[in-house]
């Protein structure tokens, strides 16, 4: 997926615009997971072209008194990481010094930059917008985020200028693609080094689908897998800013290219909001997840420590709690093989296919025993179900009144599914459809 970053100073209407871009698809995804935690990252589609959108502004707390330096850094990061940039300015305010600074940064960029002049909702403002030519970014698009006018033209242009990504090759038996994600200093580099170390068995170097994502094949402990490495990940160790935005911006691409995300958390810090964000990114992208609690060597332990720690993390990742959690040390190399095994298992879980007849034999008696609650005297009957032939596990249940099946029943079905099949670490989708 191409990544599009929305930049601009606070209050120009970035998030209204962002919400407009991701609205429809997001609503679908979120009703399934029941989670609407992060509103700054989403998927969008225009003219059949899919892309991810990041609203950089969503990560700035406070409004007008934001440090210029902060915005400059965010813009720079967006420039580094995104494939295209939409720079939003506000016709009401006109050009501000901050706009000029951002424009200065963006003028040097080789990537597509689209200038969106927001709040243009009458003819006067159309005339006012002309001043934005002086930013030196060329043609601009007038939009009104509130009503949505003008966004069509902007998006037409956007999908036209987005770089063509090479088609992912369909492999017969693809190797698991793992990516190690987590906050700065969680121990990602240490883990990778401990895993592939000095005696790295590099089999091939295949240029990834983007300019900086490299999948390298490794062979360790009898497992063959690819590590998704990105310039972003490698640079991450140097990033001092422990802000949500940075971890998301830097993780998105790596996560999108993975089958399984190995989320490293620092045992001495616990599971914090940034970890939650990264977890959520993986879940939202329907990637497999393994959580490694690293630096376990530093924790004073008694018999209950790991259990309690684990329970706490599971609480944080609700409702998607069926995820392997392992306590490791990249330093002492404790349980690194187990960690790798867990990641391989999640990969296998994610690509399993359940034969339709077996699936019905399993699920229909459960449904018969505990049918969806009747609504307004109407009984909901589920007659048939199947796994869809999709890349990530999706299940459809055919019912006479699918619209009456509510979230708790979906959850019930998901739990039963997870009890009877191993989908540990794998987000699944469940749909109810009219037969």
251 is in an annotated binding site: no
Residue 250 found at the interface with ligand GDP (CB under 6 A): no
- Return the C-alpha torsion angle 348, 278, 154, 125, nearest 10: 160
In this structure, how many other beta carbons lie within 10 angstroms of the beta carbon of residue 70? 15
136 is in an annotated binding site: no
Q: In the bound complex, what is the minimum distance in angstroms from residue 103's beta carbon to ligand GDP?
A: 33
Using the minimum distance from each CB to ligand GDP, give the nearer residue, 99 or 229.
229
Contact predicate 157/230, CB 8 Å: no
Q: In the bound complex, what is the minimum distance in angstroms from residue 333's beta carbon to ligand GDP?
A: 9
User: How far apart are the C-alpha atoms of 259 and 153, rounded to whole Å?
Assistant: 35
Using the minimum distance from each CB to ligand GDP, give the nearer residue, 102 or 292.
292
- Return the C-alpha torsion angle 278, 279, 281, 284, nearest 10: -170
User: How far apart are the C-alpha atoms of 405 and 225, rounded to whole Å?
Assistant: 40
Using the minimum distance from each CB to ligand GDP, give the nearer residue, 285 or 329.
329
Using the minimum distance from each CB to ligand GDP, give the nearer residue, 14 or 295.
295
55 is in an annotated binding site: yes
Per-residue x/- track, 166-205, ligand GDP (CB under 6 A):
----------------x-xxxxxxx---------------
In this structure, how many other beta carbons lie within 10 angstroms of the beta carbon of residue 49? 15
Q: In the bound complex, what is the minimum distance in angstroms from residue 142's beta carbon to ligand GDP?
A: 43
Contact predicate 393/425, CB 8 Å: no
142 is in an annotated binding site: no
Q: In the bound complex, what is the minimum distance in angstroms from residue 33's beta carbon to ligand GDP?
A: 27
Binding to ligand GDP (CB under 6 A): which residues in 322-341? 329-331
φ/ψ of residue 269, rounded to 5: -110, -25
13 is in an annotated binding site: yes
Using the minimum distance from each CB to ligand GDP, give the nearer residue, 81 or 322.
81
Spell out a b/e string for 235-264, using b for 16 or more CB atoms within 10 Å of the CB, else e: ebeebeeebbbbbbbbbbbbbbbbbbbbbb
Using the minimum distance from each CB to ligand GDP, give the nearer residue, 186 or 367.
186
Using the minimum distance from each CB to ligand GDP, give the nearer residue, 299 or 396.
299
Size of the site for ligand GDP (CB under 6 A): 17
Would you call 60 exposed, middle or buried from its count of C-beta atoms within 10 A (0-12, 13-18, 19+)? middle
User: How far apart are the C-alpha atoms of 297 and 275, rounded to whole Å?
Assistant: 20
Residue 49 pairs with which residues in a beta bridge? 46
Nearest residue to ligand GDP, using CB? 187
In this structure, how many other beta carbons lie within 10 angstroms of the beta carbon of residue 204? 8
49 is in an annotated binding site: no
Using the minimum distance from each CB to ligand GDP, give the nearer residue, 14 or 236.
236
Alpha-carbon distances, residue 307 vs 30, 84, 182, 302, 326 (angstroms): 30, 45, 22, 10, 11
Per-residue x/- track, 275-304, ligand GDP (CB under 6 A):
-------------------xx-xx------
In this structure, how many other beta carbons lie within 10 angstroms of the beta carbon of residue 169? 8
- Which of 237, 311, 375, 388 lies at the binding interface for ligand GDP (CB under 6 A)? 237
Q: In the bound complex, what is the minimum distance in angstroms from residue 295's beta carbon to ligand GDP?
A: 4
Using the minimum distance from each CB to ligand GDP, give the nearer residue, 284 or 295.
295
Would you call 313 exposed, middle or buried from its count of C-beta atoms within 10 A (0-12, 13-18, 19+)? buried
Would you call 214 exposed, middle or buried from its count of C-beta atoms within 10 A (0-12, 13-18, 19+)? middle
Q: In the bound complex, what is the minimum distance in angstroms from residue 222's beta carbon to ligand GDP?
A: 23
Q: In the bound complex, what is the minimum distance in angstroms from residue 254's beta carbon to ligand GDP?
A: 13
Spell out a b/e string for 298-307, using b for 16 or more CB atoms within 10 Å of the CB, else e: eeeeeeeebe
Omega into 202 within 30° of 0, i.e. cis? no
User: How far apart are the C-alpha atoms of 408 and 432, rounded to whole Å?
Assistant: 13
In this structure, how many other beta carbons lie within 10 angstroms of the beta carbon of residue 334? 17
Q: In the bound complex, what is the minimum distance in angstroms from residue 183's beta carbon to ligand GDP?
A: 7
Q: In the bound complex, what is the minimum distance in angstroms from residue 274's beta carbon to ligand GDP?
A: 12
Q: In the bound complex, what is the minimum distance in angstroms from residue 427's beta carbon to ligand GDP?
A: 24
Using the minimum distance from each CB to ligand GDP, give the nearer residue, 279 or 409.
279
Binding to ligand GDP (CB under 6 A): which residues in 348-387? none
Positions at the binding site for GTP: 8-15, 55-59, 118-121, 182-189, 229-233, 294-297
Binding residues vs ligand GDP (CB under 6 A): 182, 184-190, 236-237, 294-295, 297-298, 329-331
Binding residues: 8-15, 55-59, 118-121, 182-189, 229-233, 294-297
């Amino acid at each position: 997926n191409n990544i599009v970053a929305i930049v601009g100073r606070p209050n120009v209407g970035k998030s209204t615009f962002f919400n407009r871009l991701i609205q429809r698809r997001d609503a679908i995804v979120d009703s399934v997971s029941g989670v609407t935690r992060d509103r700054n990252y989403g998927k969008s589609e225009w003219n059949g072209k899919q892309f991810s959108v990041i609203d950089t502004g969503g990560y700035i707390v406070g409004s007008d008194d934001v440090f210029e330096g902060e915005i400059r850094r965010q813009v720079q990061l967006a420039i580094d990481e995104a494939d295209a940039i939409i720079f939003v300015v506000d016709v009401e305010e006109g050009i501000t010094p901050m706009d000029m600074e951002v424009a200065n940064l963006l003028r040097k960029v080789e990537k597509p930059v689209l200038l969106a002049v927001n709040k243009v909702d009458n003819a006067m403002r159309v005339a006012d917008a002309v001043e934005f030519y002086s930013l030196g970014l060329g043609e601009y698009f007038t939009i009104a985020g509130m009503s949505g006018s003008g966004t069509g033209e902007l998006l037409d242009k956007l999908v036209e200028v987005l770089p063509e990504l090479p088609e992912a090759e369909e492999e017969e038996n693809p190797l698991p693609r793992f990516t190690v994600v987590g906050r700065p200093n969680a121990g990602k580099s240490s883990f990778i080094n401990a895993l592939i170390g000095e005696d790295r068995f590099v089999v091939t170097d295949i240029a990834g689908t983007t300019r900086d994502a490299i999948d390298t094949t490794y062979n360790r402990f009898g497992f063959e897998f690819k590590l998704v490495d990105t310039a972003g990940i490698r640079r991450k160790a140097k990033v001092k800013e422990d802000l949500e935005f940075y971890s998301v911006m830097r993780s998105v691409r790596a996560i999108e290219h993975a089958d399984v995300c190995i989320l490293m958390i620092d045992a001495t810090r616990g599971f914090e909001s940034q970890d939650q964000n990264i977890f959520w990114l993986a879940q939202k992208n329907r990637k497999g997840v393994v959580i490694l609690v690293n630096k376990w060597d530093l924790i004073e332990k008694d018999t209950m420590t790991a259990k309690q720690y684990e329970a706490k993390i599971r609480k944080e990742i609700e409702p998607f709690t069926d995820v392997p959690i392992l306590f490791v040390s990249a330093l002492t190399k404790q349980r690194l093989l187990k960690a790798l095994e867990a990641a391989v298992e999640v990969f296998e879980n994610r690509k399993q296919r359940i034969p339709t007849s077996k699936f019905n034999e399993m699920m229909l008696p459960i449904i018969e025993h505990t049918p969806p609650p009747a609504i307004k005297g109407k009984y909901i009957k589920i007659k048939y179900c199947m796994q869809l032939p999709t890349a990530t596990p999706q299940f459809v249940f055919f019912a006479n009144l699918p619209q009456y099946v509510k979230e708790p029943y979906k959850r019930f079905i998901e739990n039963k599914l997870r009890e009877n099949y191993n989908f540990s670490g794998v987000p699944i989708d469940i749909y109810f459809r009219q037969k």
